[in-house]
Amino acid sequence: MTALFIYLRSTPLLGLGATLIAWLLAEQITRRLPPGPLSSPMPLAILLLVLGLLATGVPYDTYFQGAQYVQFLLGPATVALAVPMYANLRQIRRSAHAIIPAITAGSVVAAASAMLIARALGAPREIVLSLAPKSVTTPIAMGIAEQIGGQPALAAVFVLLTGVTAIALLGPVLRLGRIIDARARGLGAGTAGHGLATAQILQESETAGAFGGLAIGLNGVITALLLPILVRLL
C-alpha cells in the first residue's frame, strides 16, 4: 500500500483520484443526512480533501498536478449552462426588463457590503480589494482583483468560500424570504453564489438553472464595469 501511494504521488493520478474519491464519499454521506444547509456534498468534499492532504503531508502543488484536469472541466461545465438557457429563452426574454436591474442591484450590494464590512473590521486595503469580486465566477474575479489592486489568488479563495457559503445558506434564505418563483431563485443563486450555487439550484429545476447561468455571466460583466467606480467611491 505504501509503495502504491509513493507511485501515485509521483503521477497526476493522485490529485485526480483523491478528488473523485472525496466527492464520492461526500455524496454517500450527504445522502444519509436530512435536507438542510449541510446536505450538499461540495463543502464536505473540500473538507475531506483538506484533511487528507494534511494527514498525508502531500503538498498542494503535487495534488494540483492531477486536480487541474477537474478544474479544466469547469469551463465546459459553465458553457453547458447555455443549454437550459436556450431551452428557457422565451421566459428570459419576457423577464428581460427585470433581470438587468435585479442583477445590477445584487452586484453592487455584494461588492459594496463586502468592502465596507472588511474595512470596518480593519482589514488591509489589499484584502478589501481582493474580497470585492467574491460573488463573481473565479476567472473574472481574478482579473478584476488584479485590475483594482487586489491579489488574484486571494480573490479566488474568497470566491470559493462565497460559493460554499451560498450552497449552505441558499435553501434556508430562499425559504425564509418565501421566494418560490424559479426565475428569482435562479437569479439569486447565480448572482450571490456564482457557479457552485447555480449547480445546486439546477438540480431543483431547469428554469432556475437557466436563470442562474444567465446571472453568472451578467454579474461578471456588471461587476467588472461598476467595481472600479465603487472602489473609488468607497
Rounded Cα distance, 96 and 85, in Å: 13
Comparison of pLDDT for 118 and 196, the residue scoring more = 118
For the chain, what is the domain count?
A: 1
For residue range 119-134, list pLDDT tens digits in order. 999 989 999 999 999 9
Residue 91 has phi, psi (to 5 degrees) of: -65, -35
Its pTM stands at: 0.76
Distances (CA, A) of 89 to 77, 85, 101: 19, 6, 19
Report the pLDDT value the prediction gives residue 94, as an integer from 0 to 100.
87
14-19 mean pLDDT = 81
Checking if the pLDDT of 83 tops 90, the result is no
First to last CA, the chain: 56
For residue range 150-174, list pLDDT tens digits in order. 888 888 889 888 888 888 888 888 8
187-202 mean pLDDT = 85
Rounded Cα distance, 198 and 186, in Å: 7
Residue 127 domain boundaries:
1-72+81-233
